[in-house]
Chains A and B, each alone.
Chain A
Amino acid sequence: MTTSQQEISDEIAKIQAGTPVGAPLLDFPPYRSTLLRHPTKEPRHADPEGAELFAPVFGHSDVAAIEADLTVQRGGEPIGERIRVHGRVLDGDGRPVRRQLVEIWQANAAGRYSHQGDQHPAPLDPNFTGVGRCLTDDAGWYSFTSIKPGPYPWRNHHNAWRPAHIHFSLFGTDFTQRLITQMYFPGDQLLALDPIAQSITDPAALSRLVASYDHSLSEHEWLLGYRWDIVLTGSHATYLEPSDD
């Protein structure tokens, strides 16, 4: 664990001097865990067929409305800055992804996950699991009430810190639109140092992972609002309308 942040940042800068790429580079050595986990061969082209043309379907039997509020799932109030994260899920043609599952997970205000594998010596919050789900509405909107997650240290290199983030898991209308990503907060100085975020070497693409503070979403004496829209890849079944429940 002797690699310094400066060495990691130098490695990142060297890679980013190449052609910017809008998707994360799977072969990205500054994030050390990629070394043995990135495929080395180009993916093979496939035209989607059968089950690949249709995402799984979720409905109100899958998700309870309360699962979208991460501040009320336990007996008491979690500690931290209360926030709302709100936005739309769109497909690559700009159409709303309607009534589809959105799953999130995050650290608590102190930067600790409610996960047995997280050994960061920051306090757990008994009133916060950091896990939420919702379905988008008919216009593709989702909304979660939560606590602003804290940044946390990790073992990639010496004094490595992840910027504060919320993990998002998304489905489109097609199986091929599946996305898991991370939402970051505006103005976070750790973003530029983070090899996971910087694996997206096109700054414009990375900026699409950063939410905006939206004062119109903030609520008087209650919470701060953030807006984050998500765009999935293109759908193949352009002639199909999403089916009704």
Chain B
Amino acid sequence: MTEATPGQTIGPFFHHALAFPGDAELVPFGSAGSVVLHGHVRDGAGDPVPDAMIEIRQTDASGAVPGTGGSLRRRGAGFTGWGRCCTDAAGHYWFSTVEPGLPFFAVTVFARGLLDRLFTRIYLPGTPGAVDGLVAEREDDGRLRFDIHLQGPSETVFLRYPRT
């Protein structure tokens, strides 16, 4: 295998380059059958991380992995199974999406001060065989909540895949 190009931090100045209209709306916010997945990104002191970027990749409701383009334009693209959200000043991220048929969101985390991307999963509540600690909480209003802790007593379980 050829030696991989190493990663580097996303730095502080990515928003104007990587955010785009509709980036966090895999389906329009509030549309029929949609669900909000949201949470806060926190550092080892429990403080919000306001300069993180979260991406999710997921199957559609039937469990199929979408292979269609159009994520960057969104309008009329259909469900692409991919979204991006830059955290706000409170370290909050959110996505409007559908619950995946294969029951986790694959997640990538980037931030200033984080020298390489991190991978994790967010499982739907009640998923048999879910990785401990990686299950979203169902809130009273139906939203799914999952906080990402880069460090500290609640540090998120991050994943390493073979060949990475």
Contacts from A to B (Cβ < 8 Å): 22-26, 28, 31, 33-63, 90, 92-94, 101, 103-105, 107, 113-115, 117-118, 129-131, 133, 167, 169, 175-182, 196-197, 199-200, 204-206, 208-209, 230-236, 243, 245
Contact = CB atoms under 8 A, between A and B. Distances in A.
Given A24-B9, A44-B158, A167-B11, 11 more contacts: A26-B115, A37-B49, A44-B131, A52-B57, A56-B80, A92-B1, A103-B18, A117-B51, A180-B117, A231-B3, A234-B164
Contact of B5 (A94, A104, A178, A209): A209
A200 B113 contact: no
Given A36-B45, A115-B16, A179 B115 contact: no
21 contacts: A31-B113, A34-B114, A37-B111, A39-B151, A45-B161, A46-B131, A50-B100, A54-B67, A56-B57, A56-B80, A56-B82, A58-B70, A61-B73, A61-B77, A62-B71, A131-B17, A178-B117, A180-B7, A182-B9, A200-B6, A234-B164
B58 A51 contact: yes
Contacts of A94: 2
Contacts of B8: 24, 167, 180-182, 196-197, 199, 209
B35 interface: no
Interface size class of B (residues with CB under 8 A): 35 or more
Contacts, number: 247
Interface of A is mostly: loop
B162 interface: yes
A37 B5 contact: no
A113 B16 CA distance: 10
Nearest to B108: A178
Contacts of A36: 43-45, 47, 113, 150-151
Contacts of A176: 119, 161, 163-164
A129 B2 contact: no
B159 interface: yes
A181 B67 contact: no
B25 to A, nearest CB: 15
Nearest to A154: B12
B6 A208 contact: yes
A37 B58 contact: no
A74 B18 CA distance: 18
Nearest to A28: B115
B62 to A, nearest CB: 12
A34 B43 CA distance: 10
Contacts of B164: 176-177, 233-234
Given A43-B158, A113-B13, A51 B47 contact: no
Contacts of B157: 41, 44
A205 B3 CA distance: 8
